[in-house]
Structure formats: structure tokens, C-alpha cells
Amino acid sequence: MISSPSIFAAAALDPANGRLRGFVLSRLAADEAEILTIAVEPDSQGRGVGRALLAESLRQAANARAAAVFLEVDEDNAAALALYKRLGFEKVGERRGYYRRADGARATAVIMRKALG
């Protein structure tokens, strides 16, 4: 997947020791990009790492001439939802029962979109 020309990614490394603090993986399809996953280690959460990774992914999508970027997020992930809204994403749909929790319960995915350019 990573070797595909339609995939783009970014990583956040700790400047002191080079340790991975987070990453984002996205793909381009026609004139749309999708953020497949974004992850930030727990010790780095709330310190701007996710925002920087997301901004880099948006920059890469714009450079690839994507007209919009989509992502999905668990409806209960308040921190991620707040970040995405601050960066201009808007809710455009839901996928009920999309995520399976450790206890077997199902959670809704919120589909969000941001127009570029």
C-alpha cells in the first residue's frame, strides 16, 4: 500500500531522540483524498502533533490537486472531532455500527469533509 503512487503519508518524530510520535496515512482517488488513519502516541496527544500531521496531509492533498479531503472518526472521539472542526472539516454523514468496541458494542463513524482551494 505504501508504495502506491496514490498513497501519501507523514510522520512526526521526536526531535530529541528521533522516536516516532505519530503518523498519518492518506490516499488520493481522482480529485478526492481520504485520510485513512492518523495516530498520535498518548504522551504526545494534546501537544499539536495531530494538528501538524493533519495540516501536512492537507498540504499534500492540495499539492496533488485534490478538491476535497474526507475522513471518518468515532462519534465519541471528542478531541479528534474538535480538531477536525477547527481545521474546517464538516460532518457530511454517518455510518452507524461502523466501529466495533472491545466489549463488542458498535459505534457510529462520523464522515467529515473539507473542501480545498
Q: Give the residue numbers annotated as catalytic, written as ranges.
A: 72, 84
Q: List the one residue out of 44, 54, 46 whose CA is nearest residue 19.
A: 44
Where does 1-117 show beta strands of DSSP type E?
A: 7-13, 20-29, 32-40, 68-74, 90-100, 106-115
* 61, 39 contact by CB (below 8 A): no
43 touches 25 (CB < 8 A): no
Q: Which helix (H) or strand (E) holds 81?
A: helix 78-86
Residues whose CB falls within 8 Å of the CB of residue 94, separated by 6 or more in sequence, listed in order: 75, 108, 109, 110, 111
